[in-house]
Structure formats: structure tokens, C-alpha cells
Structure 1
């Protein structure tokens, strides 16, 4: 059984262990697409296709070892012409179930721990490197969904940042300012006070 735990909490570094024994580490830092890890002396790269939601596992030479289709409620991992289906079995992507050739549950991946930042994978029948790949994919999907939620929250709260780095005014504030300017332009002008010259011109 694999267990991934973030250490320490403020960072995006994860320690991966197998049955309690340290196995490897990987990072999900912001600005980095995908993740890299070393397993038994071999380097691997999990590549993310940002817009399609597809993930690939590449070896040190850049060869695709395994890949997924679009990761959502139901998705598949393909490796050496073998297709392994996964199905979400808990809300908020907290659990995925691996299905066997007979369509019955054969393994699970669960997000646990503080703010669901830990993942436990029990995937018998899969090579170790493929188990690590699936576990990293689940964590990358969680990061992607959290980033999308943050973007939506920002746009609802006050819009996108301007080019100066300061947040733009919400559309409602801009509309109110425009209405105020128009209302001010319609205010009646105060009559001009007559000065001594005007009074002299009125004399016969």
C-alpha cells in the first residue's frame, strides 16, 4: 500500500512511502506543470496536458510508459495495451475505485488527512511505478480543481488584476461611478453673481 503525505504543510513537497518505508519524493509546486520522481534509480516525469485533462508517464528518455484519458468521474489508464478503468466512488474526488477485468472493484485510491492533502493507494496487480503514477495523477487533478475554484472566486469577488498588479474595480462599482458622473453633469448651474460692471451697464 502506498501513502503520500505533504511535508511540511506550507510546501507542495510530498513524501511517498510503501508499507511504512520511505520510497521517493515529488513536488507539486505552483507554476510547475506535472511532477517528477525517481523510483529505484530511474527517473520519471508525469506530464500534464492542461486543457485536455490528460496525463502521461514518461521515462528518463522521454518515452511514454503509460497515459490516461480525460480524468473525471470515470477514466482509464493505458499501459502496454492494457486498459485499467477507474471510477469515482466518493464526492469531491475523495475516492476512486480501480475495476478489474470482470468490472468488479479491485483497488482504491483515497484522499485523507488534513484538508485531504494525503493520498493512500491500494492497487494490487499494478506495477509499482504505475501505482505511483495513478497516485500523482489524483493529486494533480486535485490541484487543478482547486486552482480553477480560486480563479472563479477571484472573478466573482473583484475581477482580474490589472496590468499594474492592482485589482480592477468590480463592474458594479464602475457602473455606479459612471451614473454618478452623468447625474452630476445634469445638476443645475448656480446663477452668476452680478458684479459692479454689470450694474453700471444697466444704468440709463
Structure 2
């Protein structure tokens, strides 16, 4: 299970671990939607369109690794390596959980574990690790943007 722990109240910076083992740090962009992380010596960059509904993750060669449309909607998809993964929001209220679906069956989930600190965890079996981090980070980005807009 991936865990994202916010490391700064002033920046969108999260330490991501696999269980208790730190594996990367998500650095959210300051003036745009997206961010970056490094995993196993590879750099990944996440960028969004102006509305924050379409995201692409690229590697250090600027090759698209994964992309999504309608991120943050009730139903949305991630495409990577020729496969499509479907997600749905757990409830009509934002910030509850996002579920990875296989047909009508929930097979994984991303959820906020601490509203005060802004921590998250993700269980996304079957997705490659960089794509799991991509999904986790875009959910963090969307939920943080929604919280900022509501404030």
C-alpha cells in the first residue's frame, strides 16, 4: 500500500512510501497544476490542461507514460501501456475516496487518511508503480485544489 504524507504546510510536497519504506517525493508545482517525482532513477513529470481535467505523465525523454481525462469527475479513466483503468468516486461528496474498478467490482482505492495533515493512502493492484504514484498524486492535486477553491 502506498502512503503519502504531507511534509510541508506551505508547499504541495508529499513523501510517498510503500508501507514504511520511502520511495519518492511528490513536488507539486507552485504556479501550475501538476508536479514531478523521481522513482528508481527516472524522472516523471505530471502536467494538466488549464481546467485540471486532463493530465499526462511523461518520463525524462518526454514520452507519455500515462494520461487521464475527466480527472476528478464521478467516473474517469487512466490509460497506460495500452490498458485502460476505470475509477469512480466513492460518494457524491469530494474527498471521500476514489475507487479503482473492474467492471462493477471495487479492486482498489485512494483515500484521505488525515484531513488535518492532508495524508493519503492508495491500494491500486495491477497498476505499474509509476502509474500508481501518478493516480495518487493527481487525486492529491485535485482534492487540494478543490479545498483551496472552497476556502
Q: Which runs of 5+ in 1 are unaligned?
A: 151-204
Cα deviation, 1:39-87, whole Å, max 9, x if unaligned, reads: 0000000111122611111011111111011111110001122110001
- SS at structure 1 position matched to 2:139: helix
Kindly name which structure, 1 or 2, has the bigger radius of gyration based on alpha carbons.
Answer: 1
What residue ranges of structure 2 are gaps of 5+ in the alignment?
Answer: none
Alpha-carbon distance in structure 2 between the residues aligned to 1:9 and 1:36:
18
The question of whether the paired residues in 2 share the 8 Å contact of 1:74 and 1:87 is answered with yes
Match of 1:108 in 2: 109
- Local SS of the residue matching 1:98: strand
The alignment status of 1:50 with 2:55, answered yes or no, reads no
Tell me how far apart the structure 2 counterparts of residues 8 and 52 of structure 1 sit (CA, whole Å).
23
Q: Give the structure-1-normalised TM-score.
A: 0.68
Query: Per-residue displacement from partner, 1:122-173 (whole Å, max 9, x unpaired)?
Result: 01111111100000010111122234334xxxxxxxxxxxxxxxxxxxxxxx
Indicate the structure with greater strand content.
Answer: 2
What is the correspondence of 1:1-150 to structure 2 with a 5 Å cutoff? 1-51=1-51, 53-71=53-71, 72-90=73-91, 91-100=93-102, 102-115=103-116, 117-150=118-151
Q: 1:78 to 1:117 in 2, by over 3 A?
A: same
User: 1:13·1:29 contact (CA, 8 Å) conserved in 2?
Assistant: no
Structure 2 length-normalised TM: 0.90
Displacement of 1:94: 2.1
Equivalent pairs counted in the alignment come to 149
State how far apart, in whole Å, the 2-side matches of 1:82 and 1:39 are: 21
Question: How far off its partner does 1:31 sit?
Answer: 1.4
Residue 10 (structure 1) shift: 3.5
- How far the C-alpha of 1:5 sits from its partner, in A, is 0.7
Runs of 4+ displaced beyond 4 Å: none
Greater length-normalized contact order (CA 8 Å, ≥ 6 residues apart): 2
Q: CA RMSD in A?
A: 1.6
More helix, by proportion? 1
Q: Secondary structure at the match of 1:137?
A: helix
